[in-house]
Amino acid sequence: MVYPNKLLQIIDANLNRTREGLRVCEDIARFSLQNKGATKSLKTIRHGATNLVIRSKKISLAKLLSERDTAGDKTKFIDFTLRSSANISDIFMSNIERVKESLRVLEECFKIIDEKISRGYRKLRFDTYDIEKNIVKKAL
């Protein structure tokens, strides 16, 4: 089946958003919190997000990349500003929120393409909720 370019662009953007946000959280857990368990869990989710697409028989990372249009993305530089009193906890929290939101988008988009992959993203989203709770409870 051929999927609309816009759907593949949404998936590509949210897969990148997921992995980038997880990497930020992972590095905070590793270097700031020195929490080996949280670091490992975040890394597992980051790799899991990529592996779900790799396992898909209906789309590929190469196909997603071929549909990427950063030159045509009119909103790519819409930024937000952290308040001047922001700290490492604020960076962690904003990135973990970004991860949860993008995992939800992936879950919804994959309902059209592959229900099994969609359920995989749902599981990663709930795993992220659990990791977030544990990190916030212990350290932030």
Amino acid at residue number 90: D
Percent of the chain at pLDDT > 70 equals 97
| Domain coordinates in residue numbering, the chain | 5-65+88-138
Where residue 78 falls among pLDDT bands split at 50, 70, 90? confident
Segment 82-95, tens digit of pLDDT: 677 889 999 999 99
Give how far the C-alpha of residue 47 lies from the chain's centroid of Cα atoms, to the nearest Å.
Answer: 10
Under 8 Å between Cβ of 59 and 3: yes
Distance CA 1, CA 46 (A): 27
pLDDT digits (tens, 9 = 90+) for 22-70: 999 999 999 999 999 999 999 999 999 999 999 998 999 999 999 998 8
The mean predicted confidence, pLDDT, of the chain is 93
Cβ distance 96 to 21 under 8 Å?
A: yes
The set of residues, in sequence order, having a beta carbon less than 8 Å from that of 89 and lying 6+ positions away, is 140
Residue 83's SS3 state is coil
**Burial of 72 from C-beta contacts in 10 A (0-12 / 13-18 / 19+):** exposed
